[in-house]
Amino acid sequence: MEKQFLINALEMGEAWRLFKIIGEFVEGVETLHDIGPAVSIFGSARTGADDPVYKKTEKLAGLFAKNGFAVLTGGGGGIMEAANKGAAEAGGASVGLNIVLPFEQQPNPYANIKVDFKYFFIRKVMFVKYATAYIIMPGGYGTLDELFEAVTLVQTHRIKPLPIILVGTDYWSGLIEWIKARMLDGGRISPEDIDILQIVDEPEDVIKIVKKIVII
């Protein structure tokens, strides 16, 4: 049986797992290398299909597909499902980068391009490498992890600047206020670091921001 704590398993005598890691990188790159302009969409896996945020995500992904963008998600349920569904039904490339977990995520049926990963960090590389923008819908810890990973990479100039767009003023404004009050006012980040993040509410506005920067 595959061990659950994969990173802890990289110990003496098990270095052969490095070949599995290399294999996941190869599969991801070979599958996505010609995907074209793409956006990565993140959000809660617990969002139901009757939730307004689900419907907004579905609409947003459909608009991206109609404007020539592939849509990348984590391949699971909730917001990921909504994004894959919207992109697929609009006739676009709907990519599910599914993480294999022992107890949780099942891939949604709407991704027409699928890659399975055991290692989160390899999956994260694919999200960043092939995205021209990060779209962050309301979500939990996993969503925040993806958000601040991208912010840190942009802040430290490890990747080219890309739009990182928070969708939903009601949900995200408190976080931005906290960042300004605690991090910025405390001198822990610079004023220009605030500009890495943008908050919008409407799918059409998200598309406009991305299309200003990305020429297809």
pLDDT at residue 15 in the model = 75
- From the list 125, 76, 78, the residue with the least C-alpha distance to 96 is 76
- Contacts of residues 100-108 at CB distance under 8 Å and 24 or more positions apart, as own/partner, are 102/2, 102/4, 104/45, 105/45, 105/74, 105/75, 105/76, 105/77, 106/76, 106/77, 107/75, 107/76, 108/75, 108/76, 108/77, 108/80, 108/81, 108/84
Structure tokens at 45: 């896996």
Task: Indicate whether 204 belongs to any domain.
Answer: yes
Residue 113: count of CB within 10 angstroms of its CB: 18
Task: Indicate whether 12 belongs to any domain.
Answer: no
pLDDT at residue 194 in the model = 96
- Domain of residue 86, residue span: 40-210
Task: Indicate whether 172 belongs to any domain.
Answer: yes
- Strand 164-167, strand 70-73: pairing: unpaired
Q: Is 110 helix (H, G, I), strand (E, B) or coil?
A: coil
pLDDT at residue 213 in the model = 83
Q: How many domains does the chain contain in total?
A: 1
pTM of the model: 0.91
pLDDT at residue 80 in the model = 98
Distance of alpha carbon 180 from alpha carbon 2, whole angstroms = 43
Report the CATH number that the domain containing residue 133 is assigned in CATH.
3.40.50.450
**pLDDT, one tens digit for every residue, the chain (216 residues):** 455 566 665 565 567 788 989 999 999 999 999 999 999 999 999 999 999 999 999 999 999 999 999 999 999 999 999 999 999 999 999 999 999 876 656 899 999 999 999 999 999 999 999 999 999 999 999 999 999 999 999 999 999 999 999 999 999 999 999 999 999 999 999 999 999 999 999 999 999 999 998 766
